[in-house]
A and B are shown apart, each in its own frame.
Chain A
């Protein structure tokens, strides 16, 4: 079956450094991708999204890059802060099953002071 997955389950960075979290997807029909942040005991929080007609989108301290050729998605967090510590999920929406999001297993980001 087709799935969304993350390359690394955990990532540890020093406060102030930049973080890069990667995601691979296999469904070439997907045209909408989202990054979520989930803190312990809470629901996923929307961070940033990107549609397949773009290859880069920037938000506040975050950038999402989409490489459709190799089906790869990444989330870059600039000047990582302790409050960024959480589990990060990428998700894709299948355009033939509009509404249904497929989530990866998540990367745990730990920020060391």
Chain B
């Protein structure tokens, strides 16, 4: 009865490197959401995906950030050429359908040096 899984849990990158964050949704869930949380703040929506489709990316920065949810395998949030301002906790959630309960993973804490 595994929940949402994210890896790595902690990721350290130097400025200019790439960060790849992975999310495996709960069994039976085909909807995946990515959120970013800065220290002492709430979660900010980034992107909503279904299998092989991006449904809503209104919260994604226009440059350097991309997300995918392939037919097979986990969802990937990719950040190219990271900057210090990208340091945050990135959470993935999954649900069984639109407007259904979103269950969150433990997050990936990205630190950019």
- The residues of A with any CB-CB pair to B shorter than 8 Å are 32, 34, 36, 42-46, 49, 89, 91, 93, 95, 97-106
Interface residues of B, count at CB 8 A: 25
Closest 5 CB pairs of A and B: A43-B104, A103-B42, A98-B98, A99-B48, A103-B43
Partner of B98, one of A34, A42, A91, A99: A99
- Give the distance in Å from the alpha carbon of A34 to the alpha carbon of B106 in the complex: 18
Instruction: Tell me, rounded to whole Å, the shortest Cβ–Cβ distance linking A86 to chain B.
Output: 13
- CB pair A89–B43 under 8 Å, yes or no, is yes
- CB pair B106–A42 under 8 Å, yes or no, is yes
- CB pair A45–B42 under 8 Å, yes or no, is no
- CB pair A100–B42 under 8 Å, yes or no, is no
**B48 contacts across to A, CB distance below 8 A:** 99-100
Q: Are A45 and B98 CB-contacts (below 8 A) given A100-B58, A103-B44?
A: no
Encode contact with A along B32-49: 1 for CB under 8 Å, 0 otherwise.
010100000111110010
- CB pair B99–A44 under 8 Å, yes or no, is no
- CB pair A101–B102 under 8 Å, yes or no, is yes
**B22 contacts across to A, CB distance below 8 A:** none
User: Which B73-113 residues have C-beta < 8 A from chain A?
Assistant: 91, 95, 98-99, 101-107
- CB pair A100–B45 under 8 Å, yes or no, is yes
- Give the distance in Å from the alpha carbon of A42 to the alpha carbon of B103 in the complex: 12
- Give the distance in Å from the alpha carbon of A103 to the alpha carbon of B41 in the complex: 10
Instruction: Tell me, rounded to whole Å, the shortest Cβ–Cβ distance linking B3 to chain A.
Output: 9
**Nearest A residue (CB) for B44:** A103
Partner of A100, one of B56, B91, B101, B106: B56
Q: Are A46 and B101 CB-contacts (below 8 A) given A99-B56, A100-B56?
A: yes
- Give the distance in Å from the alpha carbon of A44 to the alpha carbon of B103 in the complex: 8
Partner of A104, one of B42, B45, B55, B103: B42
- Give the distance in Å from the alpha carbon of A103 to the alpha carbon of B95 in the complex: 17
- CB pair A44–B45 under 8 Å, yes or no, is no
Instruction: Tell me, rounded to whole Å, the shortest Cβ–Cβ distance linking A27 to chain B.
Output: 13
